[in-house]
Structure 1
Amino acid sequence: MTTVGILGGGQLARMLALAGAPLGLRFLVMDTSAEACAGQFAPLLVGDYRDEAALADFAARVDVVTFDFENVPAESARWLSARVPVFPNPGALGVAQDRLAEKMLFRELAIPVPPFADIASREDLDAALARIGTPCILKTRRLGYDGKGQFRLKPAPGAGTPAAVQRVADQAWAALGPQAERVGLILEAFVPFDRELSVVAMRGRDGSFDTWPLTENWHVDGVLSASLAPARVDPALAETAYGHARRLAEALDYVGVFALELFCHGGELLANELAPRVHNSGHWTIEGAETSQFENHLRAVLGLAAGATTVRGHACMLNWIGELPDPAPVLAEAGGHWHDYGKSPRAGRKVGHATLRADTPEALAAALQRGGDALGRQSQVAPAIAALRG
């Protein structure tokens, strides 16, 4: 029986283990915390990702390794790859861990990106601000996710004077400047996007490539709030997005599932970032697609044929942040599905999600309206309802 090792024991590892059970797979999860929620469904090895003794123990007990979050040290993945197959490859992980390397790769592949600049000093920040202008966002190059490690430089309306810009630059540098030497910084132009979209795609060991339908996403405070699939976009725009994802996967010799996050502005797609793993915006595929992102990721890393990515009607995923609401209104819907990650409540923490699925846009909009009203989550469901009815 094949044992899959997963570095990282969060909800993504948990859902991978659940998806792999019907395939007869065993799992071993390695995490730094004994409380990792994937440990509720798979054996858990607690250890530091940089501890070679712990990594050696892990490698000796598995047949293939993958990971459930992109901040697993790339050097640990490289160390493991000399002893056991690791997918996606450590090089792809390394690129995705560095926002500057990621943006430069996008440019090399002719994937449009917002203007950006490498920031190593306060002088670099001033020079980049003069070129890029405000509003813009100063970010850590490494270790940031879900809105963490970011500072928006946006002078008050009507206060875009040089002095006002310097004040927000001072604030940004005070917030992130001390991290410049340790994790690096990048300044990115703010995109007044019309829509946020993502391509959730997969590439097999044999080079085969496929995508799920383009997904539209809405964020609150930098954290995903809702995802709707398929996104209602021009087919030509969707094909452009799929083409970007394919070039990226081939350039990285990627194996597994990944997400390419995109801004749509004035009919043009601009790449935001690559997530080298199963992705929050693909959770709807568990009930809303013929084969989920989790099953297909496992099929890819094991060298098995991919399952169909065909959508089943229309689906909307709602993220639960901080604490879980009452599941009853969702479960009362014929197409309602509930996912509790087994985590204790905590502000800003992803603790679960729900997916509502229906055969038509109208039926899904109605189900979202009922669920949103019953849960007091009208603002969370409203953008998806508007998109479905638009």
Structure 2
Amino acid sequence: MLSTRLGHAHLGDRGSFFAAASVAALALWASGSPSIVYPVYTSDWGLTASLVTIVFAVYPISLVVTLVVFGSLSDYIGRRATLLIGVALIGAGVLLFAVAPNVVWLMLGRVLQGAGVGFAMGAASAAMVEYNTGSPGRASSVNTAATALGLALATIVGGGLVEYAPFPLHLSYWVLFGIAAVVFVAVWWMPRGLTGAPPRDDAPATRWRPQRVAVPRGLRVVFAVSALAISAGYAMGALLLSLGSQIAQDLIKTDNALVAGVALSISAIVIGVVAILARSLAPRTSIAVGGFSIAAGLGLLVLSAALESLPVFVAASVVAGAGYGWLFLGGLGLISRHAPVHHRASTLSAVYLVAYLAQGVIAVLIGQSATALGLEPALDIWAPVIAAIGLAASGAAIATSIGLRRRQAEAG
């Protein structure tokens, strides 16, 4: 529904909420779009596992740089303007993938994608909190489900197009470019105010300028737990998105891109289901459960490679996906509840900065290990490391929850 509350036609709160959610879905679709095509690049262009993961890692590195410089931008110029910049850059990056003749173009495309998501993710998350008309946990739940939908579409649609349509190196990106154009139009109709609580036309008190990423005082413990939880999920994503389809192809003997895509999408689908079903779960409880689940899922992933078993790989995707869903839902819910409204985007951007930095570093190290030692030994090394990050997030959530209850008891 369109509203004219600010003197011009624009989406209402509900429409703006879902427009922001579509940006989150687009961001993760763009992030995961090359994952199912990596084996084709490997066979057609002769790319090594190390080079593939460097292409993957260019994305979070670009994203981190963008967050450092522009993480607070939407708190000054508004959610809509920042989202438009982000979606435009994502679309430009996808366009480079669609016409790429070599790996240099892929890297340039990943730079633009990373920059676009750096502009978009913090602003989209903040907009969903501010335009939320439902329960307090709805924004985090729908945000998690939207990102899961984006990942699922990246692997399923990409896998089907790579396997059964012409131009396997390019067509899936043209489809995604069309989706990006639709999302851009949806964001264009969002209100032009600074935030969505309620939409405003007033300018911020000070002009925006690049500034260091900072966490408001009093939020550092909450920030640490939230960032650790989301980092654990993103680290697992680095493993599955950069090497997952290659694991399915080389270790589980599945050479059908659609089968590999569906196997990888199971994890994303489970993330979305968890996001909806667990929306009323307390954030720290969600993080505690998620850390243990992601560790179990990574253990099953190692087992699937050792047994060359597709059913065990699917089971790993289910368990790890549930863990990611709980971690992301809990981490996002925890920081969203405590971030001050006029620093919400910058605080959320700081969380994403830590998580994407961890993802980029781990992706490069996984790729170097896979090139030097082989895919299965690299999996044996890095799956336990990522599992340990998940367990650390669980431990931090449990410890802070106990401390919170103790302080409440003393105050009472």
Greater relative contact order, per chain length (Cα 8 Å cut-off, separation 6+)? 2
Shorter-chain TM-score tier: under 0.3
Instruction: Point out the structure with the larger strand share.
Output: 1
* TM-score normalised by L of structure 1: 0.27
